[in-house]
Amino acid sequence: MSNDTPQSGESAELRHRAEKRLKRQAIEVAGSGSATQTQRLVHELQVHQIELEMQNEELRESRAQVEAALERFTDLYDFAPVGYLTLSADGTIRELNLPAARLLGVERTRLAGRRLRSFVSQDTRPIFDSWCKDVFATQVKQACSIDLVQESLPPLAVQIEATLSPDGREARAVIVDVRARNALEVKLRQAQKMEVVGQLAGGVAHDFNNILAAMILKLEIWQMQHELSAETRSSLTDLEALAKRAANLTQQLLLFSRKHVMNPERLEIGSALTNLFRILERLPGRDITCVHLPGISELWVEADPAMLNLAVMNLCLNAKDAMPNGGTLTLESSLAEFTTESAQSQPEARPGSFACLRISDTGCGMDDDVLEHLFEPFFTTKDVGQGPGLGLASAYGIVHQHKGWMNVQSVVGHGTTFRLYLPLSAKKETSPSAAPTGTGQLPPIKAQNETILLVEDEAALLLVSARALALLGYRVLSAANSQTALKLWHQHRDEIDLLLTDMRMPKGISGAKLAEILWKSKPSLKIIIMSGYNMERTEGSPFGQANYTFLAKPFDLKMLLETVRQRLA
């Protein structure tokens, strides 16, 4: 650092004056002829010179510290993640940092003296004017959201907040680009909306399942009557087929609402995609090339293979529909690692290791309006009659039911990419025994005077199920709720061989809790739990998984008979 600074200049002047004073005194003493006084003055002069040099060194160090602090402040000011401005009462920019200049789209040297209002969009100027007035009317921090306009660029959403300086002559403001935050808020609102829609769909599907189960059982009971005409029997068969078709739609609603029955197993994603890829290659398509990019390592997840295949297949079929003139469909599996910071880029993401399934197409793509409603049940861009609009909704529900999430990116004319994230698995888990599948023929009835306690809150299903079981030779004790079931249990405990109960009941205790209570009272009791909802895992409960069979709603007569017979065997 040069000595030509204000501090070093003042030090030199002080030293110069001291030297002149001491020299003058030395000349006077020398003239008087006193050698002792001359030596004393020379010594004092040397001491003063040393003191002045020390003061000068302190000033140089202070100067260096001030310059270093100023440099740090400048770096912090100009490379801050937000913009800083100083505004006068009429909104004139007095000074600003580089980020603020970039947000305004003008070089900083050209901004001093310009009014900030000139950069605010016409739509948000009233908001800005009111904000500016409030800032200079109070010492309380004021904030507002406005749009800035830049030449040839879309409006830039920012948030600006400011406080008045102590002297009231200027406002010190912070301006922040909130586009990314706004985008995340939009995605979060969409996710919350989908959650509400899912709950509604699940509730509707639950009640509809009960109605369909009652209809299917009733139709099958009628078909068991021998005196029916061929035309009547054919009509009943058609009605049964329609009811089962409605049941399939209900299952897709349950998939979307994440309440479908799952039978998870330890699954390697790469192998699953390889098997699915062979099926995709055989699907009809116009000049569509299927590409499979297997992952570089094994990725194990806990998943229901059938459900996961359905989700991926629905996405692939949707991709093929988006490429009517041909294109490329790509499937890829990879490992995705999310930190706390990177997980913030997606509303549903969370830190950890995940298997990522990517399904990409080179099709027509989707605009923002379509993307906003993409996963809603019954939303479709297809013509009437070409699909109910449940494919993507059910895929969405399947992925979330597996505790994962989906991310979609699409550009009109340039294709779409879906990414499915599933948590990695470290161990294999067991699951409840599922209801056995039938062979297409009713097995012979072997009821041996067994007594069944039937608990179902849906009156129609309770009535028709009791009648069906009675026709099959069983003695049935019917209860519409858990309180009635407990009363019947206390009256007929020793006679009851099987508990057949709904999983969820709106009044009283749940079916699972009822089963636990009765099993503790009678460990030999056989248990069947029926529901259209996803079973809640009961590994920690006293009666355990191995002591009950699960019966998925809606069920037909054959499935009911097989499940009851095998459980009592």
CATH code for the domain in which residue 547 is found: 3.40.50.2300
- Of 415 and 235, the structure prediction assigns the larger pLDDT to 415
pLDDT band for position 435 (cuts 50, 70, 90): very low
Per-residue tokens: 463? 């009535």
Identify whether residues 156 and 119 lie together within a single domain.
yes
pTM of the model as a whole: 0.45
Which residues partner with 353 through β-bridges?
A: 337
Which of the given ranges, 8-12, 65-69, 183-187, 380-384, has the highest pLDDT on average?
Answer: 183-187
Report the alpha-carbon distance of residue 247 to residue 208 in Å, rounded: 8
Counts for the chain of helices (H) and strands (E), in that order = 14, 18
- Give a yes or no: residue 281 inside a domain: yes
Identify whether residues 274 and 419 lie together within a single domain.
yes
Report the alpha-carbon distance of residue 513 to residue 504 in Å, rounded: 10
pLDDT band for position 464 (cuts 50, 70, 90): confident
Which candidate, 188, 531, 253, 191, places its Cα nearest to that of 397?
Answer: 253
Query: What pLDDT shows up at residue 39?
Result: 74
Identify whether residues 357 and 406 lie together within a single domain.
yes
Report the alpha-carbon distance of residue 402 to residue 423 in Å, rounded: 8
Query: What pLDDT shows up at residue 10?
Result: 56
Identify whether residues 273 and 392 lie together within a single domain.
yes
Let me know how long the chain is: 569
CA distances from 210 to 222, 264, 396, 465, 563 (A): 19, 25, 24, 11, 18
Report the alpha-carbon distance of residue 437 to residue 260 in Å, rounded: 17
Query: What pLDDT shows up at residue 488?
Result: 94
Per-residue tokens: 188? 């979060």
- Of 559 and 507, the structure prediction assigns the larger pLDDT to 559
pLDDT band for position 196 (cuts 50, 70, 90): low
Please list the helix, strand and coil fractions of the chain in percent, rounded to the nearest 5, in that order: 50, 20, 30
- Give a yes or no: residue 119 inside a domain: yes
Domain CATH code at residue 419: 3.30.565.10
The predicted-structure confidence for 331-351, as pLDDT tens digits, reads as follows 888 999 999 888 887 878 889
- pLDDT of residue 540 exceeding 50: no
Instruction: Domain of residue 33: give its range.
Output: 6-78
Select from 156, 177, 198 the last residue of a domain: 177
Identify whether residues 416 and 470 lie together within a single domain.
no
- Continuous segment of H or E residues that includes residue 517: helix 511-521
Please count the structural domains in the chain: 5
pLDDT band for position 264 (cuts 50, 70, 90): confident
How much of the chain, in percent, has pLDDT values that exceed 90? Answer: 13
Radius of gyration of the chain (CA): 40
Query: What pLDDT shows up at residue 277?
Result: 78
Query: What pLDDT shows up at residue 437?
Result: 40
Report the alpha-carbon distance of residue 363 to residue 328 in Å, rounded: 8
**Residue range 409-418: average pLDDT?**
91
Report the alpha-carbon distance of residue 247 to residue 244 in Å, rounded: 5
CA distances from 53 to 12, 15, 45, 396 (A): 9, 9, 12, 78
Question: What is the residue-averaged pLDDT of the chain?
Answer: 77
The predicted-structure confidence for 109-140, as pLDDT tens digits, reads as follows 888 888 888 899 989 999 999 998 988 888 88
Identify whether residues 516 and 372 lie together within a single domain.
no
Of 41-45, 123-127, 199-203, the one with minimum mean pLDDT is 199-203
**Residue range 432-456: average pLDDT?**
61
168: left (phi over 0), alpha (psi -120 to 50) or beta: left
Residue at token pair 């030199």: 12
- Give a yes or no: residue 432 inside a domain: no
- Of 3 and 297, the structure prediction assigns the larger pLDDT to 297
**Residue range 461-478: average pLDDT?**
87
Select from 423, 454, 485 the last residue of a domain: 423
Report the alpha-carbon distance of residue 310 to residue 292 in Å, rounded: 18
Query: What pLDDT shows up at residue 193?
Result: 65
pLDDT band for position 485 (cuts 50, 70, 90): very high
- Give a yes or no: residue 428 inside a domain: no
- Give a yes or no: residue 121 inside a domain: yes
Identify whether residues 230 and 289 lie together within a single domain.
no
Task: State phi, psi for 414 to the nearest 5 degrees.
Answer: -130, 10
- Give a yes or no: residue 429 inside a domain: no
Which of the given ranges, 16-25, 273-282, 378-387, has the highest pLDDT on average?
Answer: 273-282
- pLDDT of residue 384 exceeding 60: no
- Give a yes or no: residue 109 inside a domain: yes
Identify whether residues 283 and 401 lie together within a single domain.
yes
Q: Within a 10 A sphere around the Cβ of 209, how many other Cβ atoms?
A: 26
Q: Within a 10 A sphere around the Cβ of 363, how many other Cβ atoms?
A: 24
- Long-range contact list for 124-131, CB < 8 A, 24+ apart? 128/91, 128/160, 131/160
Identify whether residues 395 and 280 lie together within a single domain.
yes
**Beta strand 496-502 pairing with 451-455:** parallel
DSSP state at residue 445: P
Identify whether residues 345 and 417 lie together within a single domain.
yes
Select from 78, 113, 139 the last residue of a domain: 78
pLDDT band for position 444 (cuts 50, 70, 90): low
Domain CATH code at residue 90: 3.30.450.20
- Continuous segment of H or E residues that includes residue 208: helix 179-223
Task: State phi, psi for 293 to the nearest 5 degrees.
Answer: -115, 95
**Residue range 38-63: average pLDDT?**
74
Query: What pLDDT shows up at residue 433?
Result: 42
Identify whether residues 411 and 281 lie together within a single domain.
yes
- pLDDT of residue 506 exceeding 70: no
Identify whether residues 65 and 99 lie together within a single domain.
no
- Give a yes or no: residue 431 inside a domain: no
CA 406 to chain centre: 8
pLDDT band for position 434 (cuts 50, 70, 90): very low
Of 10-14, 130-134, 276-280, 371-375, the one with minimum mean pLDDT is 10-14
Query: What pLDDT shows up at residue 2?
Result: 43
Which of the given ranges, 68-77, 180-189, 211-220, has the highest pLDDT on average?
Answer: 211-220
- Of 193 and 238, the structure prediction assigns the larger pLDDT to 238
Contact at 8 Å (CB) between 93 and 111? yes
Report the alpha-carbon distance of residue 42 to residue 25 in Å, rounded: 10
Can you tell me whether residue 327 is helix, strand or coil?
strand
- pLDDT of residue 5 exceeding 60: no
pLDDT band for position 265 (cuts 50, 70, 90): confident
Query: What pLDDT shows up at residue 431?
Result: 42
